[in-house]
A = this chain, B = another copy of it.
Amino acid sequence: MRDQALNYVQTHQADTLEALKAFLRIPSVGALPEHNDDTIQAAQWLVDRLTAIGLHHVQIMPTPGHPMVYADWLEAGPDAPTLMIYGHYDVQPVDPLEEWLTPPFEPTVKGEDIYGRGTADDKGQLYIHVAAVEAYLQAAGRLPLNIKFLLEGEEESGSTHLEDFVKAHQSLLQADAALISDSHILDPATPILITGVRGLTYMEISMRGSRQDLHSGTYGGVVENPLNAMVKLLASLRDEQGRVTIPGFYDDVKPLNQAERRAINTGPTSETSVLAETGAPALWGDPDYTVAERTGARPTLDIHGIKGGFIGHGAKTVIPATASAKVSMRLVAHQDHKKIAELFRQHVLSISPPTMEVTVDTINTGGGAVIDMATPAMQAAADAYEQTFGRPPLYLREGGSLPIVPLFIDILHAPVVLMGFGLPDDNLHAPNEKFHLPNFYRGIETAIVYYDILAERLAKRQAG
């Protein structure tokens, strides 16, 4: 069965790439209301595709935001294990558009890479599993285990409605393991399994200093400028060493023990690798932790944008009436994302100057998680990687956030495997996002092998 599927993949590469391109052409920027129709169109495209390749119960399931796409194939029977495959069909905004070398929604193959928004995050990686399931069903007429797809449209907006959805559909979503391909490996030859993800609390601070925009010549030095007040407030949120200054912020951060530090520091992330990947003049951060530790095992605070005033060409001497700032914090396991949002809110209000009316809003939040390397689902993933890549994976604490991970662990009690196929230089969330096509095809092969190994491992375990 596995060999039939692998053979099918080999002989259908061109068709698979064309299908992926059609998916990538839909500008499903879930966070932007002007792309709402496009985002729905991407969900509908998935429904059509999953139906065409032979899945069952294919449906759009509404949420108060963008809907979930659900599909399954349960013909392997009640004794066979069930694998849940999660992915997301929404993509990041494309700005700054002028820095794209090819149009973000016209997927373009250059050399061994395909360029376009969503190629790596996450349409390309999601489609690996669509193609793997297609290969089994078309070539062998069946899969070695039961499969459920849960495909989200709000991952890039913080998975706002995912928690309620998972809680409301626990029995539908019940699975023996959950697999997510939305992460990267070290290089095209070296796979990585993720052993943890960070939580995220994304906030917005708004300030008003006057009824209307003011002339800086008339009111400068007398009426405080919300941009000046904002930079003062934002600058105070981190100290000279880059530590977050919000009282209580670190209270629930579990210290890293020696074994964890050793494991993290034998991974691929180093000062040299980060300098090479980013072109940064120098690195930065808490000197008590190594670069590898700060990337994933420590919380952070970043400003993502500051609105207000004039950013056009030339000069405008305005004191804007209002200013706002988007700020997010990456959280590590044991930090409660909702508690952090409240600590942030209280702290910002407590340090706000009397010259400003200040409001603090939570844009979205989600928890972090630690993933146990020893589950059969994780060991099967390591074996599948080794069979297709020819070498065992490295292990890494991922700095990013995937709200589905703690939800699956906490609500569905299913072990989660993060088996990615992106590369560190894929320009996620940036112009010129790309996906390495050899990884795409090898990813499909790895998925095929993984389903097979997992079916055997979990079946054995249930029997034994």
Interface flags for A185-206 (1: CB within 8 Å of B; 0: not) read: 0000000000000101010000
A238 close to chain B: CB less than 8 A: yes
List residues of A (256-287) whose CB comes within 8 Å of B's CBs. 274, 278-286
In the complex, how many angstroms separate the beta carbon of A195 from the nearest chain B beta carbon? 15
A298 close to chain B: CB less than 8 A: yes
**Most central of A231, A309, A321, A353 by chain B CB within 10 Å:** A231
CB of A279 within 8 A of CB of B211, answer yes
Partner of A281, one of B212, B324, B356: B356
Q: Please give, as numbers and ranges, the residues of chain B lying within 8 Å of A48 by CB-CB distance.
A: none
A64 close to chain B: CB less than 8 A: no
CB of B32 within 8 A of CB of A330, answer no
CB of A302 within 8 A of CB of B156, answer no
Q: Please give, as numbers and ranges, the residues of chain B lying within 8 Å of A212 by CB-CB distance.
A: 99, 278-279, 427, 430-432
CB of B309 within 8 A of CB of A221, answer no
In the complex, how many angstroms separate the beta carbon of A113 from the nearest chain B beta carbon? 14
Interface flags for A380-407 (1: CB within 8 Å of B; 0: not) read: 0000000000000000001111000000
In the complex, how many angstroms separate the beta carbon of A123 from the nearest chain B beta carbon? 16
Q: How far is the CA of A60 from the CA of B321 in the complex (A)?
A: 37
CB of B354 within 8 A of CB of A281, answer yes
Q: Please give, as numbers and ranges, the residues of chain B lying within 8 Å of A317 by CB-CB distance.
A: 200, 202, 302, 304, 328, 400-401, 429
CB of B219 within 8 A of CB of A314, answer no
A232 close to chain B: CB less than 8 A: yes
Q: Please give, as numbers and ranges, the residues of chain B lying within 8 Å of A357 by CB-CB distance.
A: 281
CB of A221 within 8 A of CB of B298, answer yes
Q: Please give, as numbers and ranges, the residues of chain B lying within 8 Å of A213 by CB-CB distance.
A: 96, 427, 429-431
Partner of A302, one of B225, B236, B242, B424: B225
A59 close to chain B: CB less than 8 A: no
CB of A280 within 8 A of CB of B313, answer no
Give the residue name and chain of the B residue nearest to A424 (CB): B218
Partner of A278, one of B216, B219, B304: B219
Quick one: copies of this chain in the complex? 2
Known A217-B400, A222-B285, A222-B291; contact A326-B310, beta-carbon cutoff 8 A: yes
Partner of A280, one of B224, B278, B309, B428: B224
A248 close to chain B: CB less than 8 A: no
Q: Please give, as numbers and ranges, the residues of chain B lying within 8 Å of A219 by CB-CB distance.
A: 274, 278, 295, 399
Partner of A305, one of B202, B242, B309: B309
CB of B284 within 8 A of CB of A330, answer no
Interchain residue pairs with CB less than 8 A apart (30): A32-B313, A33-B313, A93-B310, A95-B310, A157-B315, A158-B315, A202-B317, A217-B330, A218-B424, A220-B300, A222-B283, A223-B278, A223-B283, A224-B284, A227-B305, A227-B306, A231-B303, A235-B235, A281-B355, A281-B356, A284-B353, A284-B355, A304-B310, A304-B315, A304-B320, A305-B310, A311-B324, A314-B363, A315-B363, A317-B328
Q: Please give, as numbers and ranges, the residues of chain B lying within 8 Å of A398 by CB-CB distance.
A: 217-218
Interface flags for A68-100 (1: CB within 8 Å of B; 0: not) read: 000000000000000000000000110110010
List residues of A (168-199) whose CB comes within 8 Å of B's CBs. 198
Q: Please give, as numbers and ranges, the residues of chain B lying within 8 Å of A305 by CB-CB distance.
A: 227, 308-311, 316, 320
A255 close to chain B: CB less than 8 A: no
In the complex, how many angstroms separate the beta carbon of A290 from the nearest chain B beta carbon? 10
A209 close to chain B: CB less than 8 A: yes
A102 close to chain B: CB less than 8 A: no
Q: Please give, as numbers and ranges, the residues of chain B lying within 8 Å of A140 by CB-CB distance.
A: none
In the complex, how many angstroms separate the beta carbon of A102 from the nearest chain B beta carbon? 15
Q: Please give, as numbers and ranges, the residues of chain B lying within 8 Å of A235 by CB-CB distance.
A: 231-232, 234-236
In the complex, how many angstroms separate the beta carbon of A159 from the nearest chain B beta carbon? 10
Q: Please give, as numbers and ranges, the residues of chain B lying within 8 Å of A313 by CB-CB distance.
A: 31-33
Partner of A315, one of B31, B281, B301: B31
A319 close to chain B: CB less than 8 A: yes
List residues of A (9-37) whose CB comes within 8 Å of B's CBs. 31-33
CB of B32 within 8 A of CB of A302, answer no
CB of A401 within 8 A of CB of B280, answer no
Top 5 A-B pairs, shortest CB-CB distance? A217-B400, A213-B430, A211-B279, A305-B309, A235-B235
A312 close to chain B: CB less than 8 A: yes
A210 close to chain B: CB less than 8 A: yes
